[in-house]
Structure 1
Amino acid sequence: MARRKIRPSAPAAPALCPCGSGTAYGECCGRRHSGASSAPTAEALMRSRYSAFAVRDEAYLLRTWHPETRPPRVEFDPGMRWTGLEIVGTTDGSAFHTTGTVTFRAHYTDGGRPGVLHERSRFTRVDGAWVYVDGEFVA
């Protein structure tokens, strides 16, 4: 029986965050999902919510939804895969504001067919934390 050298494998590169920041998920939206940090701006919350849809984190989505508009649960379509986020624009939503909007395009495939969700989302602060209120589709 021949001896083989066993080479240690290189550590796997951390997965990039779905939000498109170019940062590892664990250092970006993963920190928000776990509760280690909160979103400082409406845009940061939007990015973390997009990532929560991508990784199917229902608890985070419900936790960051305004209590008056929150559904009882989030149902994920098993055939849908989120493939990219594009922030089109923001209005207010900084650390100095109490409300803000984020317009975005969320790219996906559904059953292998590409699509785009174009939405203007409204955010507000509840007890100091940014939450998603609602959104309207943009034509």
Structure 2
Amino acid sequence: MKFSLLAILLVVLAIGSESASLVKRDAPAELEKIAKYFQDLVDKLKNVEGPELANKANAYFEQSRAQFQPMVEKLQEQLKPLSSNIEDHIKPLAASVQAQVGPLAGLVQTHVEDVLKFVADKSKSILPPQ
């Protein structure tokens, strides 16, 4: 019994180590592919001249704009009812706040005018006559 468990354990370890070595052998191949991809990309970018690259970038942006413009317009159409709905809710709220703040603003203005008049009167009485 112990011998069979030991044999099974050895077989499992052998298979595991073999699969690990296969993975190790595959990894450099994948790294090689990635390195080659980036090397090709660098070579292509070196060969492309400045104006040509700018033209390609402009063409890409124009294509992207053409693709996204319908989506943006559709989104704007979907948001119009939402914005008007928000506006309908905000207007009464703003009117209510203005109605409540209006009398307070008038009261503050009256008090500020009274304080300024008081300061002006006291400063006239402190100054010597001219």
TM-score tier by shorter-chain length is under 0.3
Larger radius of gyration: 2
TM-score with structure 1 setting the length: 0.20
- Greater strand content: 1
Higher helix share: 2
